[in-house]
Amino acid sequence: MSFALLWIPATLAASLLQTARNLTQRSLTDAIGVVGATQVRFLFGLPFALLFLVLVCLASGRLPPPPDLRYLGFTLWGSVTQILATGLMLAAMRERSFSVTTAYTKTEPVQVALFGALLLGDALSLPKFAAIVLATAGVVVMSWKPGEKLSAAGLRPAVLGIAAGASFALSAIGFRGGILALPDGNFVLRATTTLTWGLVFSSLILAAYMAAADRTALRRSIENWKPSLAAGFLGAAASQFWFIGFSLTSAANVRTLGLVEVPLAQIASRRIFSEGTSRREILGMTMIVVGVGVLLALSVG
C-alpha cells in the first residue's frame, strides 16, 4: 500500500489543528504574557508527544530509532530556529500591523523551497517553484492593505518579518533533515520520534530561559494549567501531522499546501461576522488556491 499522498490530508489536519492552537494561545496571552503563551506549546505539548510515541511504538511493535549526532544536530537546529522565528515574528508585530507582518513571514514557502533544494537536495522543478511563488504572493496580496507603504521607518519590521519567515523555513528544513537522518523505522515512527526530540530541546531551552529571566510567566503558565494543557495538546497534535507530512514529501510542498488555512480562515471570518470580501482579498485567495492546486496536480502526477 502506497502512502505517498498521505502528506496531503496530514498537512490539512495540521493546518486545522494549528489554527485551533493559535486561538487557544491567544486567549492565554493576557493571563501569562506573550512569552508564557508561546512556551506552552512546547512545555505542555511534550507529555502528549511522549504519549504519541508510546502509542506508535506499541502499534508498530518497534522501539524509536536510535539517534546519532547528525540527527540530533538537525533536530536541535529545527528547535532553535523555531523559537527564534517566533521571537522575530513577535518583535515585528510590535512595530507593524498583524496583516503586514503576516505578509512578511508568509514568504516562508519560497524560502523553504530554496533551502530544501540547497541543503537537503529536495527536487525543485521550475513549475513547482512557480506554483509556490504564486501561492505565497497570494498571501501577500491578501495581507497587504491598500495605502500601506514601506518607508525607512518600516524597514526594521520588514527585515524582522522576513527574517522570521527565513527562520520558520530553516526550522522546517531542520526537522525534515532530522526525519531523513534516522536510520530506520516507518514514516510515522520517524515523525513522532522527531516531534518528541524537538519538544524536549525546545522545552529545555525555554524553561531555562524563563527560569532565569521570566519566572513569573513560567509560574502563571503552571497556574493556568488547564488552558495551557489544551494549547499543548493542540500544538503537539498539529506538529505530529506537520512532521508526518515532512516524512513523506519536501517541506516546500507541505508548507505551501498549509497556506490554504489563510483563505479558509478569511472565508470563515467573513461568514461569522457577515462582512464583505474586497476584490483584493478575492484576488489573493484565487492566487493561493490556483498555486496550491497546481502544486498538488504536479505532486499527484
pLDDT confidence of residue 240 = 95
- Going by pLDDT thresholds of 50, 70 and 90, the confidence category of residue 264 is low
Residue 296 located in a structural domain:
yes
Q: Kindly report the backbone phi and psi dihedral angles of residue 158, in degrees, each rounded to the nearest multiple of 5, phi listed first.
A: -65, -45
Question: Residue 58: is its pLDDT beyond 90?
Answer: yes
pLDDT confidence of residue 281 = 72
- Going by pLDDT thresholds of 50, 70 and 90, the confidence category of residue 288 is confident
Question: Residue 294: is its pLDDT beyond 60?
Answer: yes
pLDDT in tens, 225-250: 788 888 889 989 999 999 999 999 88
Nearest in space to 181 (alpha carbons), one of 200, 167, 194: 194
Alpha helix positions (H), the chain: 7-43, 46-60, 69-95, 98-105, 108-115, 126-143, 155-181, 187-213, 215-223, 225-248, 251-257, 261-273, 279-300
Residue 1 located in a structural domain:
no
The C-alpha cell at 232 is 499543548
- Going by pLDDT thresholds of 50, 70 and 90, the confidence category of residue 124 is confident
The CA radius of gyration of the chain, in Å to the nearest whole number, is 19
Residue 255 located in a structural domain:
yes
Question: Residue 208: is its pLDDT beyond 80?
Answer: yes
Is pLDDT larger for residue 168 or for residue 140?
168
Question: Residue 156: is its pLDDT beyond 70?
Answer: yes
pLDDT confidence of residue 271 = 59
The C-alpha cell at 186 is 516507518
Is pLDDT larger for residue 126 or for residue 297?
126
Residue 94 located in a structural domain:
yes
Residue 262 located in a structural domain:
yes
Domain count, the chain: 1
- Going by pLDDT thresholds of 50, 70 and 90, the confidence category of residue 265 is low
53: Cα within 13 Å, side-chain hemisphere: 23
Mean pLDDT, residues 176-199: 92
Question: Residue 113: is its pLDDT beyond 50?
Answer: yes
Q: Give the number of other CB atoms < 10 A from CB of residue 62.
A: 13
Q: Which of 91-105, 148-162, 168-182, 269-283 has the highest mean pLDDT?
A: 168-182
Residue 2 located in a structural domain:
no
Cβ-based neighbours of 159, under 8 Å, separated by 6 or more:
none
Query: Rounded to two decimals, what is the model's pTM?
Result: 0.81
Residue 147 located in a structural domain:
yes
Question: Residue 1: is its pLDDT beyond 70?
Answer: no
Range of the domain at 217: 7-300
pLDDT confidence of residue 266 = 62
pLDDT confidence of residue 273 = 47
CB neighbour class for 38 (10 Å; exposed up to 12, middle 13-18, buried from 19): buried
Kindly state the percentage of the chain with pLDDT values over 70. 81
pLDDT confidence of residue 70 = 94
Amino acid identity for residue 255 in this structure: R
Question: Residue 268: is its pLDDT beyond 60?
Answer: no
Residue 125 located in a structural domain:
yes
pLDDT confidence of residue 147 = 64
Question: Residue 150: is its pLDDT beyond 90?
Answer: no
Alpha helix positions (H), 44-125: 46-60, 69-95, 98-105, 108-115
pLDDT confidence of residue 102 = 64
